[in-house]
Structure 1
Amino acid sequence: MQIISGMEIAQEIKQSLRAANEKENICPVLAVILVGEQEDSLVYVGLKEKAADYIHGRLRLVRLDAEIEKETILQTINELNRDDGIHGIILQLPLPDKLEPWREEILTAIIPEKDVDGFNPYNRGRLFTASRGYASCAASGCLEVIRRVYPAYREKNIVLVGDSFDLIMPLAVLLIKDNAQVRVIPEYKPDLPGEADILVIEKGAPQVLTGEHLTKALLLIDAGFYWHSGTSCGNVDKDSVVNNEGYLLPVPGGLGPILIAKLMENLCIAARGGQAI
């Protein structure tokens, strides 16, 4: 399989954003609300800060205690909504367990114009209309890869494995709106790769998809993430599929960097008042 470098694609996107921002002297500002002290979340925030700096932007980190009340988070979001110096707002997920029941309410508080993660239910609903708002960065990142590998993807059989609100569902809508042939499967089954020309797998188990399951060349996008045997991996057993035909966007180094680049792309659009770059 030809291994697709998510790092290279992400770098191309960020270089283009940086050139446009420097030319127009635009400094997009992203506010990240981080609740609690989760180590993984701090790592992801650091990657976003590095990307924002690279594109001639800035990240403002708003740290809140894990025991904070929902009302205080909503107040913080409302203050950021009113701050004209902030172009985009994201809530770093996951939330502490005690706040998880109010996740949707908290995400809804971020006004659609600054919802650069595309998680506000209003923006998620706009995907079904002609006037699209901000799409989930994971979904638009997958679509970026599909379009690059198979420009004629509308003629391909596309199978999406999972049921997530931030990837599978918005990606399915984007593809259907593009007149593509899409099938969504909640759980992985070994016979699924045999019917797909493009397979996006987010749900299953660590390295559940192996080379023996592949009967033809296809584009395989691994969108899972696990810590397994002391290292990070996805749903695809990379070592067992490398001798098969086709293309693989692996874990690590695949969708993750592209997702952050797409977040920066949404941020730059927000900084231009919703205008394309």
Structure 2
Amino acid sequence: MQKAIIFDGRAFAAEKEEKLAKRVQTLKIVPKLASLLIGEDPASHLYTSLKRKAAKRVGIEFEVKNFNEDVEVEEVVQSIKVLNRDKSVHGIMVQLPLPANLKSKTRFVLYSIRPERDVDGLKRESPFTPAAVRAVIHILGEAPSLGKKAIVIGSKGFFGSKLVEKLKERDLRVLGVDKEDKNLKSKVEDADIVISAAGVPNLITGDMVKNEAVVVDLGAPQGDVLFDEVVKKASFVTPVPGGVGPVTVVSLLENLVEAVVKLQESD
């Protein structure tokens, strides 16, 4: 069996950023993304910092609105409404997950964003593909060969269902399963493409994956895939960190630039 290709998300994202920067230079206006960051979660602050740095490299203005963890949801929504009316802002995102006291209000907060500015693609009526879904599609395009049978672990909820939908558009036979599925092992074993977005560290082990499978791990900050085992059997695998994450960031920026292009075309 050939040695697995370990996808280099940082290098791939750097190439995408270079192309995107050239596209930004052709625009009549500077794209601007506003990000709402609530609380002191270290991972959320890290991800926001990575997005800010990527935006700067591409030539995009990135504004962070910081809120204390105990902020009232009405204050957050009011801030979004102000950003919705700000013509200099072309995209609005909320760094997830929200703190425990606001988690039940996540949908309410996200749905305060106007669809045309929801560049993270987290509303059903958003015209944009969710950044993480777009990243997965980009990554699958880099795999040297793909079978036809795919499985998405963690398919419940908006993101998982959207990923299943997009994969089916690519003529794949897609099975969506929950992380607690009693027959998870046998279902994963049958798949040519394994995509895990369960948020359960080391859920996917080497004995669950067929030889030559393509494996994409969306777990963060720790991977769903037991990498040291799976890499011995897969033909293509994404590491954590440095796999899907950097591609998700540049995919978000691609959505923002598309928003600006649409705005210019409508003027």
TM-score, normalised to structure 1, is 0.86
- Could you tell me how far 1:146 is from its partner in structure 2? 1.3
Is contact 2:213–2:233 with CA below 8 Å preserved after alignment? no
CA deviations on 1:5-24 (whole Å, 9 max, x unpaired) are 11122112111110111233
- The match for 2:133 among 118, 139, 145 is 139
User: Quick one: percent identity of the two aligned structures?
Assistant: 30
* Distance verdict in 2 for CA 1:270–1:136, change over 3 Å: same
The aligned counterpart of 1:230 is none
Q: Does 1:222 align with 2:217?
A: yes
The aligned counterpart of 1:102 is 105
Is contact 1:10–1:258 with CA below 8 Å preserved after alignment? yes
Gaps of 5+ in 2: none
Q: Aligned runs of 1:1-277 on 2, under 5 Å? A: 1-24=4-27, 26-123=29-126, 133-149=127-143, 153=146, 156-165=148-157, 167-187=159-179, 189-203=184-198, 205-226=200-221, 233-273=222-262
Is contact 2:31–2:256 with CA below 8 Å preserved after alignment? yes
Aligned amino acid, residue 195 of structure 1: D
Aligned amino acid, residue 145 of structure 1: I
* Distance verdict in 2 for CA 1:205–1:42, change over 3 Å: closer
Give distance in 1, aligned partners of 2:204 and 2:172: 24
- Could you tell me how far 1:44 is from its partner in structure 2? 1.0
Give 3-state SS (helix, strand or coil) of 1:52's partner: helix
CA deviations on 1:127-151 (whole Å, 9 max, x unpaired) are xxxxxx1111111111111123257
- Could you tell me how far 1:77 is from its partner in structure 2? 0.6
**Paired residue total:** 259
Give distance in 1, aligned partners of 2:98 and 2:65: 14
Give 3-state SS (helix, strand or coil) of 1:34's partner: strand
RMSD: 2.0
CA deviations on 1:183-210 (whole Å, 9 max, x unpaired) are 1111262223321111101226322323
* Distance verdict in 2 for CA 1:67–1:218, change over 3 Å: same
Is contact 2:39–2:69 with CA below 8 Å preserved after alignment? yes
CA deviations on 1:163-197 (whole Å, 9 max, x unpaired) are 35453211111122333211111126222332111
Aligned amino acid, residue 10 of structure 1: A
Is contact 2:199–2:223 with CA below 8 Å preserved after alignment? no
* Distance verdict in 2 for CA 1:258–1:275, change over 3 Å: farther
* Distance verdict in 2 for CA 1:179–1:84, change over 3 Å: same
* Distance verdict in 2 for CA 1:197–1:37, change over 3 Å: same
CA deviations on 1:85-131 (whole Å, 9 max, x unpaired) are 001000111112222222111111100111011112322xxxxxxxx
The aligned counterpart of 1:130 is none
* Distance verdict in 2 for CA 1:274–1:249, change over 3 Å: farther
Aligned amino acid, residue 164 of structure 2: A
Give 3-state SS (helix, strand or coil) of 2:36's partner: strand
TM-score, normalised to structure 2, is 0.90
Give distance in 2, aligned partners of 1:150 and 1:52: 30
Give distance in 2, aligned partners of 1:264 and 1:199: 26
Gaps of 5+ in 1: 124-132, 227-232
CA deviations on 1:13-42 (whole Å, 9 max, x unpaired) are 111110111233542110011122222211
Give distance in 1, aligned partners of 2:133 and 2:263: 19
